[in-house]
């Protein structure tokens, strides 16, 4: 199947699905917990556990890091390997608190994104996808998240999905303006596409990335100078670029 243009694919996906408003979470702390719990786990199960943690006031690392690991593990039951995830969450929570985390992304603003990413990757239980999801969706840093849906879509378009995580990430980041909102929406749109069209049996005829489809009549223009909530993406004609 034909290779994709990374910018044009965003236009097609955004034109088809519209904004996705990720990540589903009320606060940065809730997003961080979700990033750990969702590893190899259905989101519906994660939501149930987050709801229960929220009711007990345990979303805050200042609270959950005080719990013994076994007790936290019991609170995470239903999220796959919950004992392991309890350990991962404790590691991550302690790391964030050591760094001065208050629940506000600004509390880590003294650290640049590369340094923060390097440190997050040293926390046991935090791999590249989890680290980048935390950076992008909880801390509002402009990094692109690569997941299994991204790899599958790239693989089917002969775009080197077997490459190392960082190389796939670079493929997107080199082709796009460095912008948190754009990376946020793009990753979420690839997930939407993977779920709806690019499953085990791809439905290319209906998919907005199908090579035989035309670009949307009304293409999407991205404005890197705007930010989330301020209409970062607008519809219009490509000729207006
Ligand atoms: S379903 Fe869509 S993304 Fe998947 S291979 Fe077909 S056109 Fe590409």
Q: Tell me the pLDDT tens digit for each residue of 56-113.
A: 999 999 999 999 999 999 999 999 999 999 999 999 999 999 999 999 999 999 999 9
Residue nearest to atom 7 of ligand 1 (CA): 210
Check whether residue 236 and residue 134 sit in a common domain: no
Section 142-155 average pLDDT = 96
Check whether residue 115 and residue 183 sit in a common domain: no
Sorting pLDDT into bands at 50, 70 and 90, what band is 212? low
Q: Among 107, 122, 138, which residue terminates a domain? A: 138
What is the structure's pLDDT at 223? 53
Looking at every residue in the chain, the average pLDDT score rounds to: 89
Check whether residue 160 and residue 128 sit in a common domain: no
**What is the per-residue pLDDT across 5-64, written as a single tens digit (0 to 9) for each?**
999 999 999 999 999 999 988 899 999 999 999 999 999 999 999 999 999 999 999 999
What is the structure's pLDDT at 160? 76
Cα of 241 from ligand 1 centre, angstroms: 27
Check whether residue 34 and residue 129 sit in a common domain: yes
Q: Which atom of ligand 1 is nearest to the CA of 203?
A: 1
Domain membership flag for residue 221: yes
Structural domain count, the chain: 2
Rg over CA atoms, the chain = 19
Helix H, strand E, coil C: the string for the chain is: CCCCCHHHHHHHHHHHHCCCCCCCCCCHHHHHHHHHHCCCCCHHHHHHHHHHHHHCCCCCHHHHCCCCHHHHHHHCCCCCCHHHHHHHHHHHHHHHHHCCCCCCHHHHCCCCHHHHHHHHCCCCCCCHHHHHHHHHHHCCCCCCCCCHHHHHHHHHCCCCCCCCHHHHHHHHHHHCCCCHHHHHHHHHHHHHHHHHCCCCCCCCCCCCCCCCCCCCCCCEEECCCCCCCCCCEEECCHHHC
Check whether residue 124 and residue 173 sit in a common domain: no
Pocket of ligand 1 (CB under 6 A): 1, 153, 156-157, 193, 197-198, 202-204, 207, 209-210
What is the structure's pLDDT at 147? 95
What is the structure's pLDDT at 241? 24
Check whether residue 118 and residue 157 sit in a common domain: no
Query: Token digits for 39?
Result: 């590893």
What is the structure's pLDDT at 211? 67
Q: Which bin fits 213, alpha (ψ -120 to 50), beta or left (φ > 0)?
A: beta
Check whether residue 97 and residue 157 sit in a common domain: no
pLDDT at 216 over 70: no
CATH number of the domain at 196, please: 1.10.1670.10
Q: Among 87, 105, 138, which residue terminates a domain? A: 138
pLDDT at 215 over 90: no
Residue nearest to atom 4 of ligand 1 (CA): 198
Q: Among 106, 138, 170, which residue terminates a domain? A: 138
Residues of the chain with pLDDT > 90: what percent? 82
pLDDT at 224 over 70: no
On whether the CB atoms of residues 168 and 160 are closer than 8 A, the answer is yes
Domain membership flag for residue 77: yes
Cα of 88 from ligand 1 centre, angstroms: 34
Check whether residue 105 and residue 41 sit in a common domain: yes
Check whether residue 109 and residue 156 sit in a common domain: no
Q: Which atom of ligand 1 is nearest to the CA of 209?
A: 7
Domain membership flag for residue 1: no
Sorting pLDDT into bands at 50, 70 and 90, what band is 1? confident
Domain membership flag for residue 204: yes
pLDDT at 231 over 70: no
Check whether residue 58 and residue 122 sit in a common domain: yes
What is the structure's pLDDT at 227? 46
**What is the rounded CA–CA span in Å between residue 207 and residue 192?**
11
Check whether residue 150 and residue 66 sit in a common domain: no
Give the domain extent around 106.
Answer: 28-138
CATH number of the domain at 55, please: 1.10.340.30
Check whether residue 53 and residue 107 sit in a common domain: yes
| Cα torsion through 56, 59, 61, 63, rounded to 10 | -10
């Amino acid at each position: 199947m034909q290779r994709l243009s990374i910018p044009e694919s965003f236009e097609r996906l955004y034109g088809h699905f519209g904004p996705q408003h990720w990540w589903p979470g009320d606060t940065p702390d809730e997003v961080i917990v979700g990033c750990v719990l969702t590893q190899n786990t259905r989101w519906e199960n994660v939501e149930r556990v987050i709801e229960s943690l929220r009711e007990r006031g345990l979303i805050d690392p200042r609270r959950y890091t005080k719990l013994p690991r076994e007790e936290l593990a019991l609170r995470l039951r239903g999220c796959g390997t919950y004992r392991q995830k309890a350990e991962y969450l404790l590691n991550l929570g302690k790391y964030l608190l050591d760094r001065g985390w208050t629940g506000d992304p600004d509390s880590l603003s003294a650290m640049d994104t590369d340094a923060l990413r390097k440190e997050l990757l040293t926390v046991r239980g935090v791999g590249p996808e989890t680290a980048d999801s935390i950076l992008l969706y909880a801390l509002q840093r402009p990094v692109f998240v690569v997941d299994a849906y991204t790899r599958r879509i790239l693989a089917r378009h002969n775009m080197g999905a077997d490459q190392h995580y960082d190389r796939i990430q670079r493929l997107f980041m080199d082709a796009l303006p460095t912008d948190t909102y754009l990376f946020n929406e793009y990753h979420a749109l690839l997930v939407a596409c993977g779920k709806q069209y690019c499953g085990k049996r791809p439905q290319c005829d209906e998919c907005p990335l199908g090579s035989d489809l035309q670009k949307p009549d009304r293409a999407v223009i991205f404005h890197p100078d705007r930010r989330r909530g301020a209409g970062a993406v607008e519809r219009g004609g490509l000729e207006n670029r």
